[in-house]
Amino acid sequence: MNPTISVDDETLGRARALARQRGVSLQDLLRRMLASLVGSRTANGTAGTAGTADELMGLLKTAGNSAGAPIARRDAYEGRV
């Protein structure tokens, strides 16, 4: 599954920096944090750490600019392709 999320630029920049710092892709960082948050196992079968769940929750607390309105996938990519 490939979900699409809306993230403000500041949060996205901080998440990218964290991924770079850890030597992983942003996608891998988010996958690991989400797995840790829900108590699942990571792709390699190891359990995630509680710290990564806290980091994800911190990233999620930063408000985006959608004012809570859902954003259609086509609108999210408009002008980027």
Number of domains observed in the structure of the chain: 1
Q: How far is CA 46 from CA 1, 53, 56, 64, 70, in A?
A: 21, 15, 18, 32, 34
Per-residue pLDDT band at 45 (split at 50, 70, 90): low
| 47 within a domain of the structure (yes/no) | yes
Q: How far is CA 63 from CA 11, 40, 59, in A?
A: 9, 26, 9
pLDDT attached to residue 49: 55
What pTM does this model have? 0.47
| 51 within a domain of the structure (yes/no) | yes
| 76 within a domain of the structure (yes/no) | no
pLDDT attached to residue 74: 77
| 49 within a domain of the structure (yes/no) | yes
Q: Are 24 and 33 in contact (CB under 8 A)?
A: no
| 81 within a domain of the structure (yes/no) | no
